[in-house]
A and B are shown apart, each in its own frame.
Chain A
C-alpha cells in the first residue's frame, strides 16, 4: 500500500517536469484544444494587429444563482456579445466554496490566461480587489459596489487602474416603495432588511421615501398614517443560529397587520411567505430584490422587482480600457429615464409584477415619469430617525449624504445602527 505513493509522486513530479519543459519549449503533447488555447494565448501576449480583448470576472456566488452573481455573469456575456470581447470567469469566489484560495490568486490566474481587466463583483472582495490593483498596475480592475475610487468619498484611494461601479438602486427602491404604498390596505409596510450598513440604510430609506410620496400624493393620505417598519435579520441570507430567520420575520409582519413586505435580502422568503398567507385567504403581497425574474417564484403575490442591469456599465468601462481611454472613476449610475427597462442603457430597472393592480401600476408608471422629469425625494425637510435635522427645507441631498446615510429617516420604525 505504501510504495504506490512514491510511484504516484514520481509520476506527478515527472509530469510537472514535462509540463514546465512544454511551456518553455514548443512541443506540446496536450490535446488539440490545449494547443489551440496555447496559440491563442501566445497571440495575446505578443502585440497583434486586432486582438480580442479578454477580461476576467470573479463572481462571489454561483454564476446561475438567480440573483446578484447571475446578474453580473449575464452582463459579462452581454459585453462579450456586443464588444466581441472574451470573458474568463470564476464563480463561487469565496473561502467557503474555494478553500485555500484567495481572490487575488484567482485573479492572477485569469491574468495568466490573458485577461487585461478583472471585475471583482462583491463588496466582500474589496480588500482583495485593492491589493490586486496595487500589485498589478498594468491590469484594469473594476470593483462592483465599493467607493474607493470616489474622489469625494470617505475611503478614496488613488489607484489609477481601479474603478468602482454601482447602479443607483435608490430609484429602484423608491419605485418598489411606491408600488407597496399603492397596494397596502392596512397602511403598514414591512421591510425585510439584511445587515445594517450605509448601503442598506440608504436603500430602506429610499423605499420609505417612495412609499411616503405615493401614499401622500396619489392616495391622498396622511403620512402619519403610514407605518413603515424595518426588521434586520443580520445578513444577506439566513444563517441558522446566527441571523434571525427571515421566514419568521416575514410571518411576523403578515401576522401583525403588515400586508406588503419589501425584501432587501438575497433570498425570497418574503415572497414565499406571502404566497403561503395568500393561499390561506389573506390579502398580502411582497416585493423581492436583485434579479429580474424573481417574481416567477410566486407571481400571484408579487408586486414587482427592482433589479440591477450591469451590462451597460461594464460595457462602457471595458470599451474605455480597450480603447486606451481608461480613467479611474467612480460610477453610480441612475436608470435611463427614457426607458428604465432598456437592457442596453439602464443600470437599474423595475419589472412590474402580476399582482400589481391596474390602478396601482398606472400610479407607479406615473411615479416613474415624475422621477424621470426631475422629481427628487431626497430633498428637505428631512429628519433622521432620532429627530436631528438631515436636510433643511428645500435642500437637496448630495451623493455623499445619500451614500453615507447615518441613520434611517424619521417616520421609519426599526434599528438605525447595529447594537454592540
Chain B
C-alpha cells in the first residue's frame, strides 16, 4: 500500500512544480494564472462542442503516440515520426485525388485512402529503419533528415503538381468534396470513425506490448540488443518491424488529419503531433496504459489554450510551456523519487 501513496505524492508534486513554473511565467507575462487556467479549462471542457473539438485533436495525437510507444519499446527514438505523419497525409491525399472522380463508393475510397496513409507512414519509417539498421545512421539524425524531406515534399506538391487551380497557396490543396470526409456527428466536427481508429489503435499497441511475444522481444532488443541476439531474437528484423509499425500508426494519424480534420493536404499537416507525442511518451514513462488519458489532457491543453490570446491577450504558446514543464517536472520528480527510494528502500516492495 505504501508505494502507491508515495507514487501519488511524487506525481502530485510533479504537477505542482509544473503548475508553479507555468504560473510564474504567466505572472511574468502580467496575467493571473488562476484566470488563465480557468479559461483553458472552460475552453476545452466547458461545453460539448469544446469537448468534441478536443476529441478531434486527440485522435491524431493518440495515433502518433501509439506508434512512438512501439519504437520506444525497441529503444529507438523515432524522431522521424513527424515525417511519417506527413507521408501518411500525402498518401491519403494522393489516393483521394486519384479516385475522387471515379465511380467507386465514397466509403470504399475512404478506406483505401486511409490504408494508403498507413502504408505511406510505414514506408517512410522503413526508410529511417534501413538507414539505421543497415546504414548505421543514428535514427535521430536520419529521422530529422526525413522529416525535413517530408515537409519539403508536401510544399512541393501543394505549390506544384497538386496546386489549386490558378493559385498555389499556403491553404493547401483544393478541399475534397464532402462525401470524401469521414462522416461526423451532425453539428460537430467529430468523426466517430476517427475516434474508433484511434481507440482501436491504442488498444492494439497496448496489447501488443504487454501481452505478446512480439512486444516482449521488442523490449529485449531495446534494452540489450546483444543479449537479445544471443537469446535468439533476430534483432535487425525486430528493429525494422518496430519502425514499420510505428510509421503505420503515424501514417494513420496523417490519414485522419486529411480525412477528418482538414479535408485536404496542408503544409503543416502533422500539426506537430509527432513532437507532442514524443513529449507524452516521455511523460508517461513509455507506458501504453497512460497514453490515452495523457494525450487527451494534452489535446485539451492545445484546444483550451486558444482562449489565452482571445480573452487574455496572451500568447497561446503558453500551453506549450505547461506541457513542456509537465514533462520536465515529471522527469525531475522521477529522479528525486529514485534518490528518495534509495534512502528508503525498505519501504519499497518489488511488485
Residues of A whose CB lies within 8 Å of any CB of B are 1-9, 12-13, 15-16, 19-20, 23, 30-31, 33-34, 37, 88-92, 94-96, 98-102, 105-106, 108-110, 113, 122-127, 195, 197-199, 234-236, 239, 241-242, 418, 420
Contacts and interface: CB of A to CB of B under 8 A. Distances in A.
Contacts of A33: 35
Contacts of B273: 99-100
A352 to B, nearest CB: 32
A4 B262 CA distance: 34
A239 B154 CA distance: 12
A1 B46 contact: no
Interface string B125-144: 00000000000000000000
B161 A420 contact: yes
Contact of A31 (B32, B169, B171, B285): B32
A127 B175 contact: yes
Contacts of B42: 19
Identify the interface centre among B11, B163, B262, B299: most chain A CB within 10 Å of its CB: B11
Interface string B276-305: 100000000101011001100101101100
Contact of A99 (B167, B272, B285, B297): B272
B340 interface: no
Interface stretch (B20-28, B210-218, B232-240, B309-317): B309-317
Contact of A105 (B38, B148, B166, B189): B189
B10 interface: yes
Interface stretch (B91-99, B100-108, B244-252, B263-271): B263-271
A242 B171 contact: no
Given A16-B41, A30-B38, A124-B171, A1 B285 contact: yes
A252 to B, nearest CB: 21
A9 B47 CA distance: 17
Given A2-B289, A3-B8, A8-B297, A123 B41 contact: no
Chain B at the A interface: mostly helix, strand, loop or mixed? helix
Nearest to B300: A12
B13 to A, nearest CB: 10
A98 B299 CA distance: 12
B321 interface: no
B4 interface: yes
B224 interface: no
B169 A5 contact: no
A12 B297 contact: yes
A37 to B, nearest CB: 7
30 contacts: A1-B10, A1-B11, A1-B285, A2-B290, A3-B7, A5-B290, A7-B11, A19-B42, A19-B45, A20-B46, A31-B32, A90-B309, A90-B310, A96-B272, A100-B273, A100-B303, A101-B53, A105-B53, A109-B43, A109-B307, A122-B171, A123-B167, A123-B169, A126-B171, A127-B171, A127-B175, A197-B168, A199-B167, A242-B156, A242-B159
Interface of B: 4, 7-8, 10-12, 14-15, 32, 34-35, 38-39, 41-43, 45-47, 49, 51, 53, 56-57, 60-61, 148, 152, 155-156, 159-161, 163, 166-171, 175, 189, 261-262, 264, 266-269, 271-273, 276, 285, 287, 289-290, 293-294, 297, 299-300, 302-303, 306-307, 309-311, 316, 334
A210 to B, nearest CB: 24
B167 A113 contact: no
Pairs A-B, 7 closest by C-beta atoms? A4-B11, A99-B271, A100-B57, A96-B268, A16-B45, A124-B171, A197-B167
Contacts of A105: 53, 189
Contact of B7 (A1, A98, A124): A1
Given A15-B41, A113-B310, A5 B294 contact: yes
A92 B175 CA distance: 21
Nearest to B289: A2
Contacts of A198: 166-167
A317 B170 CA distance: 27
Given A110-B310, A234-B159, A102 B261 contact: yes
Contacts of A197: 166-168
A190 to B, nearest CB: 22
A242 B61 CA distance: 27
Contact of B152 (A6, A7, A99, A241): A241
A9 B15 CA distance: 12
A199 B311 CA distance: 35
A7 B287 CA distance: 17
A23 B45 CA distance: 12
Nearest to A236: B170
Contacts of A99: 57, 268, 271-273, 276, 302
Contact of B8 (A7, A9, A16): A7
A233 to B, nearest CB: 11
B302 A100 contact: yes
B261 A31 contact: no
Contacts of A6: 293
A96 B14 CA distance: 29
B168 to A, nearest CB: 5
B262 A95 contact: yes
A94 B41 contact: no
B296 to A, nearest CB: 8
Given A12-B297, A19-B45, A37 B311 contact: yes
A31 B35 contact: yes
B11 A94 contact: no
A212 to B, nearest CB: 26
A102 to B, nearest CB: 7
B27 to A, nearest CB: 14
A127 B49 CA distance: 21
A420 B34 CA distance: 54
